[in-house]
Amino acid sequence: MTAATVLAALVALLLLPLAVTALRQRTLVTMAMRNIRRRRGEAALVVAGALLGTAIITSAFVVGDVIEGSFSDAARTQYGPVDVVVTTAGGADITDVGKAVEAAGIDGIDGLLATTTSTGTLEAPQHGAAVPQVTVMELDVTAARGFGAHPAITGLDTSEPLAADGIIVNRRTAEQLGVQAGDSLRLHAYDATVDLRISQVAAEVGLAGYAGAIVAPDTLGDLAEHSAIVAAPPSTQMLISLDGAVFDTRDLSDGVVTDLREAVAGMAGVQIDAPKATMLDYAESQGAGLTQVFTMIGSFSVMAGILLLINLFVMLAEERKTELGMLRAVGFTRRRLTRAFAIEASLYAVVAAAAGAVAGIGIGWLVAVVAGPIFGAAGQGAAPPLVIEPVSLAIGAGTGLVISLLTIWATSLRIARLNIIRAIRDLPEPKVSRVRTRTLVLGAVGILVGAATGFAGYLGDNAIALSLGVPVAAFSASPLLRRLLPERPARLLTATTVLGWGLAVYPLFPEVMAAGDMMVFVVQGVVLTAGAVSLASSIDRVWAFAIDRLARGGRGLAPRLGIAYPLARRFR
């Protein structure tokens, strides 16, 4: 069962009761729409905030798709229809190789193309520019257009034979030389020079990406034959295209290479390679690795998005507290009240999830544009292709929607217990000084779970479990500590324990922590952040003292207002 399937099932499970209620009690839908129309500014803020949370989650998946797609796209631009390359040396004739391959009748081979390849220097005299080292390939353009599954993947726009003094350059080479079709070029190779004229500037795709320049047959051979210097002769190659489109031939490559080696086993100096398969394998491995890196980096953003979604809907409920109390006072049952709030909030959540997934595409693509060249996924100044898997959008939008709906349901249950008088008067909930027995039991269970997790992590060399064990136990012990200590010392003890463990776990257990993967750093960051935030919210007297010092100079109002809400809502 895939993650998208699980998320779809959760969304259906969470939305189905609301959909049934909306159909049976149309009045609640009318109330929800009326609230949205009356509070358009508030509705826009809620949707925008929830949209941002979903966009952050979605962008983490989009970055991985774009980076992997960038690597895979190199197979299209650098090879196109070229799947297997047979190179001859040491006297082997490329014509004999072609005959041997055809006689073998190897399944999966779509076409053969004989080429000659060398390197040379291209000069544009009229522009005073030159490219010192360019891969130059001579071939029959007419035959090349029919090479592969479709002429478009060759990168060649014409099937007319190339003139003896003609040359095709790809777009990158043309930009480096500052030339266009019809301009003159000089090819320097084998201590000789030949004047050529550009017949086409081709896109850097397929055969036009495999070599920077394409010349007519015998051009390189004549230069090498009349050379007075000792130099390696041009390389003769048999390019082989396999059945299928550009990215569909990977599974055939290994079998065809094995059959080819058997077919030319009696020929000396024949080398067989499958460069496109190697490129696709590299793209897959690099894409997976970089996806893991960006997932780790993006995990903090994803968690920030999750917390943003939770805070938004909790604060929405707080904002509507008085209104909900009035509805309760005029006769709304708890069930009807919670459904009324949930229907309105779910409308925000659905719109935000859809819009957030779209916004996540843009955010993820921008991150890939900036980070792609760092990892070699795209050239400097070149934008990576926008490759997105539909399942990534489904997972991103589904995750944001599920988090929103879970928060809505949890908040609805809290609304069901509100006191009518306190809600109407917007009074704070009374502070409970005595810890409930249920809370103590859950705390004791949490301590056992945390201790077991940490111990199991130590014995099993699991760095994540080891990192989480003590913090889980410490936070679970907080209700028990309040039975023994005043509230503030209990909070300080819990916060310092969590923060201290986050800082000390690596020095104390270096072997276990070093064996973990990159997600260990994410977990450690969460532990450190939780401990630091808990500690900062627990030392409210320190902040109050600092504000009082500022107030003496008449500058204390803004800091006092700014810190009042975080100290009043420590958990949030």
CA-closest candidate to residue 368, choices 144, 26, 62: 62
* Cα(373)–Cα(353) distance, integer angstroms: 30
Which amino acid is present at 268? A
Least confident stretch, 92-106, 343-357, 415-429, 530-544: 415-429
- Taking Cα atoms as reference points, which of 49, 4, 62, 533 lies closest to residue 306? 49
> How high is the pLDDT of residue 355?
92
Q: Within 275-333, where are the H helices?
A: 275-319, 321-329
What is the SS3 assignment for 197-259?
EEEEEECCCCHHHHCCEEECCCHHHHHHHCCCCCCCCCEEEEEEEECCCCCCCHHHHHHHHHH
Mean pLDDT of 499-521: 84
- Side-chain-side CA neighbours of 516 within 13 Å: the count stands at 23
Alpha-carbon distance of 277 to 236, in angstroms, equals: 21
Q: What is the mean pLDDT of residues 352-369?
A: 87
In angstroms, rounded to a whole number, what is the distance separating the alpha carbons of residues 543 and 560?
Answer: 9
pLDDT digits over 371-423, tens only? 766 665 555 445 667 778 888 889 888 988 998 888 888 877 777 777 778 77
Question: What confidence category does residue 254 fall into, taking pLDDT thresholds of 50, 70 and 90?
Answer: confident
Helix (H, G, I), strand (E, B) or coil at 113: strand
Q: Can you give the pLDDT at residue 220?
A: 84
Query: Please, which residues bridge with residue 109 across strands?
Result: 242
3 state DSSP class of 105: coil
- Predicted pLDDT of residue 381: 46
- Strands annotated E in 204-307: 213-215, 235-242, 270-273
pLDDT of residue 354: 92
Q: What's the average model confidence in pLDDT over 272-296?
A: 75
pLDDT at 15 over 70: yes
pLDDT, mean of residues 55-83: 80
Task: Report helix, strand or coil for 241.
Answer: strand
The DSSP letter of residue 3 is H
Look-up of token digits 């994803």 = 302
| Beta carbons of 467 and 498 less than 8 angstroms apart | no
Distance CA 556, CA 551 (A): 4
CA 463 centroid distance within chain = 25
Q: Is the pLDDT of residue 569 over 50?
A: yes
Distance between CA atoms of residues 44 and 39, nearest Å: 9
pLDDT at 91 > cutoff 70 = no
Mean pLDDT on 264-292: 77
- Say how far apart CA 305 and CA 430 lie, in whole Å: 31
**What's the predicted TM-score (pTM) here?**
0.69
- In which band, very low, low, confident or very high, does the pLDDT at 551 lie, cut at 50, 70 and 90? low
pLDDT confidence band for 120 (50 / 70 / 90): confident
Percent of the chain with pLDDT strictly greater than 90: 2
Mean pLDDT within 229-249: 80
- Residues 6 or more apart from 117 whose CB is under 8 A from it? 135, 136, 137, 138, 211, 220, 234, 235, 236, 237
Amino acid code (one letter) for 522? V
pLDDT, averaged across the chain? 81
The pLDDT of residue 380: 45
| Mean pLDDT, residues 261-271 taken together | 80
In angstroms, the first-to-last Cα distance of the chain is: 34
CA distances for 98 relative to 105, 253, 260, 274, angstroms: 11, 18, 11, 17
Q: Residue 204: phi, psi to the nearest 5? A: -80, 75
